Amino acid sequence: MKFFKLTEYFERLEATTKRLEMFDILAELFREASPEDIDKIIYLSQGQLTPPFEGIEIGMSEKLLVRALSEAANTPTKKIEDLFRHTGDLGLVAEKLITGGQKPDVAQVYKELRTIAETSGKGSVEQKINLLSSLLRGVSAKEAKYIARFVIGRLRLGIGDPTVLEALALSEGDRGLRPELERAYNLCSDLGLVAKTLKTKKIEGVRKFKVHVGYPIRMALCERLPSSEDIISKIGRAAIEAKYDGFRCQVHKDGERIEIFSRNLERTTHMFPEIREAAKALPVKTAIFEGEALAYNETTGELLPFQVTIQRKRKHGIEAIAKEYPLKFFAFELLYADGIDYTEKTYLERRKKLESIIKDNPVIEPAEMFETDDPKEIYKYFEEAVERGLEGVVAKRLDAPYTAGSRNFNWIKLKRSYKGELADTVDVCVVGYFMGKGARARFGIGALLGAVYEPETDTFKTVSKIGSGFTEDEFTELKKMLDAIALKHKHPRVDSVMEADVWVEPKYVVTVTADEITRSPSHTAGKDSEGVGYALRFPRAVGFLRDDKNPEDANTVKEIIEMFEQQRKVKVT
């Protein structure tokens, strides 16, 4: 496919705000794409070069783009900056200035963008500028517009993963294929690979999809219930594990090669040298397992709070911090070992194999676990766990498989709750902000507009206006970060009746605690036919931003409604 053709699709996608129309346009695009191009087209449409877990970024700032444009169009940077100030969109500036006529293929443009991304080290800035300017010089105005937006991360067509899956199913003329596509996606986290498999091997090929070491598996998540009685009546005899409060890691071992992925499937191997070494020593050739990494006191064996563990999150000086705060890794799931896919096996089978692999290891140990059908025993253990600084417990259904990428009652969490507070915090995605009044006005930001996610429509529905919980410095920092992703209009994936002073791209997630959930006409989450949705009462932010979560990892509308239902029946056991 010609890249020009792809930009015509981009234009059509941009022009619509209707989700259904968007699915149709994308399905048409996917049908037209060749098996060689389809993965690249999907990555590009989502503003990426590869699936996010590969961590390949183009590494160009607006400044560098201005310089590349200046070279490509033989125009002084000053003039480009003026135009940029005027339009606020370097894509439009590029469209105005670039007049080339060649129409390269998608594969060619992709290859050149990839070369730019892979250029690093000394002198790479100049090299990147040169590469980009020569790419821009050869293309037409419309192509330049989208390339410019792409390289600075401003493509923003609003195409989330569920939208791609839906459109892929549609492109085969059968929406009923979506669950099978989703299953494959959950096993490899690579929409390009799923699409390519569909194109080349049809749905039969997708059905045969298996776990691959090196491709992160989308993580299973917990449902919540208010009491241990509820848990036993829901799933019967269960495995009760400690709920550790650290970093969730998915470790992939392929001989001596170890990769570690975070909660949102980013490659974080460099952060955990001791887990890497410890994983090499395990008595299996290949394996995928999950667990929680926590800082601990080597002398007393005591686990340290999350604020200590999180210091590991840095680019440099890992060795020093690893010495100061060594980690323990509590493994709670085995997903693959020596050619066998354990995601399909029952909890008990997975656990048995996990225990046989992980023993006498100085860093990695199996998570604490016992089996019971007695709510009192769960509650007793829960109290002790909380006393020891753990977050609570996770109950797991004994005969359930590992359900990749899904939140269901195979895992149920029970967390500490305080009187007058919701039993659990809520993660919301920031979709806009308000300037604030009075003393706040001087920061130019007084409250955030938070939204929860609705996977069925792949949209964000507002649930809360969050004006407390942040320090003045944090508000200042937030304003800077949000202004960098500000939009002229509400983002197409956001549904809101409130008018934010500044709309932003859904990108950042904040954890919020609140007194309760109420019904409210001001918000769109769970809105009924009378226009009444759900809202958080007295919300306050906990911590700063959750950078281990993607926008789609915010809580869902369905969960908010469940929490609303549950708060009416919470018992104090």
Q: Provide the binding-site residues for ligand ATP, judged by CB under 6 A.
A: 221-222, 241-244, 248, 263, 292, 332, 367, 394, 413
Element (H, E) at 67: helix 62-73
Contact status, residue 256 vs residue 280, Cβ threshold 8 Å: yes
Closest residue to ligand ATP using C-beta atoms? 248
| For ligand ATP, the closer CB: 37 or 333 | 333
| For ligand ATP, the closer CB: 198 or 563 | 563
Min dist CB 197 to ligand ATP, Å, is 28
Min dist CB 407 to ligand ATP, Å, is 6
Both ends of the chain: CA-CA distance in Å? 63
Q: What is the 3-state secondary structure (H, E, C) of 245-261?
A: CCEEEEEEEECCEEEEE
Please state, in angstroms and rounded to a whole number, the distance separating the CA atoms of residues 399 and 53.
Answer: 30
| For ligand ATP, the closer CB: 143 or 292 | 292
Residue 404: how many other CB atoms lie within 10 Å: 20
| For ligand ATP, the closer CB: 149 or 243 | 243
Please state, in angstroms and rounded to a whole number, the distance separating the CA atoms of residues 522 and 473.
Answer: 29
Min dist CB 413 to ligand ATP, Å, is 5
Min dist CB 394 to ligand ATP, Å, is 4
Contact status, residue 464 vs residue 428, Cβ threshold 8 Å: yes
Closest C-alpha to 553, from 161, 165, 39? 161
Min dist CB 155 to ligand ATP, Å, is 28
| For ligand ATP, the closer CB: 296 or 332 | 332
| For ligand ATP, the closer CB: 146 or 332 | 332
Looking at residue 68, the DSSP 8-state letter turns out to be H
| For ligand ATP, the closer CB: 221 or 340 | 221
**Residue 243 is among the residues annotated as catalytic for this protein:** yes
The helix/strand/coil state of 74 is coil
Closest C-alpha to 431, from 554, 282, 264? 554
Listed in sequence order, the residues at least 6 apart from 533 whose beta carbon sits closer than 8 Å to its beta carbon are 461, 462, 463, 519, 520, 521, 522, 523, 524, 525, 526, 527
> In whole angstroms, what separates CA 206 from the centre of its chain?
23
Given the residues 40, 142, 243, 461, the one annotated as active site: 243
Q: What is the 3-state secondary structure (H, E, C) of 192-238?
A: HHHHHHHHHHHHHHHHCCCCCCCCCCCCCEEEECCCHHHHHHHHCCE
Please state, in angstroms and rounded to a whole number, the distance separating the CA atoms of residues 466 and 512.
Answer: 8
Please state, in angstroms and rounded to a whole number, the distance separating the CA atoms of residues 278 and 326.
Answer: 13
Active site residues: 243
